[in-house]
Structures are given as C-alpha cells and as structure tokens.
C-alpha cells in the first residue's frame, strides 16, 4: 500500500465532524453539501488523472482510482478470461459469489471512463459487492476504447457479451431470463443503449438496468449542473470535452442515436431501472432527466440523487463510508429484480 492510499484510508476512518474541521469550509452547490471525506481526500492526496497525452492520462486516472477503491469482498472469487468479440478477442472479468443457487442470475457490468480511459480494475470492488449481495455471477467487460476504436464499437462489444452469456447460459449455470446490465458514466451509456437495442431486437430482455451517474447525451448545456459543477472533482467540463475529442473527433457522430439514448422518442417497454446520480457532477441533470423520462414512459424506476457524493462514487468506497453505503443500496435494489422468481 503506497503512502497516498494510507492517507485515504486514514481519512476514511476519521469521524465526519473531525474531517469537516480538517477540510475547511464546506463546499456547497445547488443546495448539496460535499461529503467531508471526499473534500479532504481531494486536497490531501494527489488524485489528479495526469496531464499530457492520452496514455499519460490513462495511467494517471487508473492510478488515482486504484487509491480510492475500497477492498473487494473476500467471499467472491474472480478470474479474467476471453471470448470472441466483433473485433477480435475481448477480455472480461468473471466474478462468482461464495453463496449461490444451482441456477444463478447474472450481471453484465461496464466501467466508466468516457469510452476513452480506465479498465477492469476501475470498479472491481463494486463488482464484488454486486456478486455477493445479489448472489449473482458478474461479468465485467474490458470493451474497446476510443480513439483506437471508433464509436459505437464499445457498444458492439457489450452486445457481444450479452450474446455470449445468453448462448452459454446453460454451461455457466445462469438463468437467461435473469441477466441484468449495469454501468457507471460511460458504462451507463452502454447499459442504457443495450436495453433499447434489445427491445428493438426482441427476444430475451434484460432483467433490470442499473445506471450510475449515466452519460446519456452529448449535449453540453449552458445551464444547470453543467455550469454549477463545471469544475467539480473528479469530473469537470474540460474533462468531458477531452473525452469527446477522442470519441467524436471533429464532432463526428455526436448526433448518433447511440450517443444520445435520452433522445429516443419511444422509451416505453424497457427493463426496470435503478438510476443513481450525484450532487457534485456536471452530468447530474441529464441523469435525473433520463430517470424522469423513463418513468414518464411507464417504466419501473428507482431513482436516487446522492447529494453529498461526486461522479465516480462507485470507486470511492476507500474514501468515504457514504459511497460504500450508496453502492450497497444499489446492489440491494438490483438483487430484488434478480430474485423475484
């Protein structure tokens, strides 16, 4: 464990009252107060993603989130394996809980990172939480990133994982009717699109969709959270524009339907949704709006706005118990949809 990880662990163990005094004046935006542990951690440890070229940014972001993640659940076992994807072999991390039924549900998970950065380690701890709490197998996908790949190839990879699990459900001891999709930020974009694509395709549908601080439109507005949270830790408006420059070079494909699932004129008939947004996040408003659109279209929606948390909180269990508790709540809600039979 490096010194910065030790600093974060020490901060997490301190009472909120003391941490608040150490962090200084509270940060408040749009009526939300930033969690004191996150506030202090962002000042006490170098959590910047790094500057320079894309590879330096990727390395910096991965190192930062390696520090903020909580420990994985010890009861869960995992291994990395490959399957055939549309552009060649794809790697996935396969998690198995210690306690499970003969035939189990499954969760397909897609990590954050703007479709440009991060990997299977990004939400590793949360994947173990889901496996344990949901008593489900979890498949986390190392989908292709931009700019090496072209949008919407990451979504093609996700659909290939869906097909792989469905086609191999019997040998995996999985109930094909109890397969959920889940993701955070760009992974939320992938998950939201999968549900819409599966609806259009017909056949077996996702049992549920978990969308954590989802990115569901390329529109960068000049109002609301896009302005008030433009410089919040860890996602800023500048970072979003950085991602867009690699995913949509010269603005190409920004109006693609799969880049804007919130604009689908028919959102009816989609799987039950759990949508979680964060108070300190420039894309808070678009996630809230998508939850409301899903609800208005007649879908079952459970919506949380965790006001004291930030973007990327699925990976902040090592910083604050509030993030860990939010993750546990989301996993419990997902479990209800996977164990209704």
The set of catalytic residues is 185, 281, 311
User: Do residues 274 and 302 lie in contact, with contact meaning Cβ atoms separated by under 8 Å?
Assistant: yes
- Angle 36-44/321-338 helices, nearest 10 degrees? 120
Note the helical H segments in 202-261.
225-228, 237-247
Bridging pattern class, strands 137-142 and 174-184:
unpaired
CA dist list (Å): 46 to 8, 41, 61, 142, 234: 10, 9, 11, 26, 11
Question: CA angle at residue 338 from 333 to 341, to 5 degrees?
Answer: 125
CA dist list (Å): 9 to 40, 60, 166, 325: 12, 20, 40, 16
Give the other-Cβ count within 10 Å of 88's Cβ.
Answer: 8
Bridging pattern class, strands 209-212 and 273-280:
parallel
Give the other-Cβ count within 10 Å of 66's Cβ.
Answer: 16
Full DSSP string of 67-96: HH--PPPTT-EEEEEEEEETTEEEEEEEEE
């Amino acid at each position: 464990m490096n010194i910065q990880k030790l600093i974060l662990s020490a901060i997490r163990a301190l009472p909120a009252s003391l941490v608040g005094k150490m962090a200084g004046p509270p940060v408040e935006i749009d009526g939300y107060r930033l969690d004191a542990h996150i506030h202090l951690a962002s000042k006490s440890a170098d959590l910047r993603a790094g500057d320079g070229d894309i590879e330096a940014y990727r390395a910096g972001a991965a190192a930062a989130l390696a520090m903020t993640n909580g420990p994985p659940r010890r009861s869960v076992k995992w291994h990395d394996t490959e399957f055939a994807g549309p552009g060649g072999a794809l790697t996935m991390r396969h998690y198995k809980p210690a306690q499970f039924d003969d035939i189990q549900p499954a969760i397909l998970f897609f990590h954050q990172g703007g479709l440009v950065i991060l990997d299977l380690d990004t939400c590793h701890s949360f994947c173990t939480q889901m496996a344990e709490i949901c008593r489900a197998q979890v498949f986390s996908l190392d989908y292709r990133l931009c700019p090496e790949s072209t949008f919407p190839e990451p979504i093609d990879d996700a659909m290939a994982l869906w097909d792989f699990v469905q086609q191999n459900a019997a040998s995996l001891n999985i109930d094909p009717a109890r397969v959920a999709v889940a993701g955070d930020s760009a992974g939320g974009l992938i998950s939201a699109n999968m549900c819409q694509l599966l609806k259009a395709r017909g056949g077996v549908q996702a049992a549920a969709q978990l969308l954590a601080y989802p990115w569901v439109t390329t529109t960068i507005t000049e109002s609301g959270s896009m302005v008030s949270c433009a410089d919040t830790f860890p996602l800023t408006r500048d970072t979003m524009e950085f991602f867009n420059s690699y995913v949509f070079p010269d603005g190409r494909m920004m109006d693609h339907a799969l880049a804007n699932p919130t604009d689908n004129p028919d959102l009816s008939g989609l799987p039950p949704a759990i949508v979680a947004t964060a108070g300190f996040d420039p894309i808070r408003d678009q996630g809230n709006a998508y939850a409301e659109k899903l609800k208005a279209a007649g879908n079952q929606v459970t919506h949380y706005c965790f006001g004291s948390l930030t973007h990327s909180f699925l990976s902040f269990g090592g910083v604050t118990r509030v993030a860990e508790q939010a993750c546990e709540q989301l996993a419990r809600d997902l479990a209800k949809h996977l164990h209704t039979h």
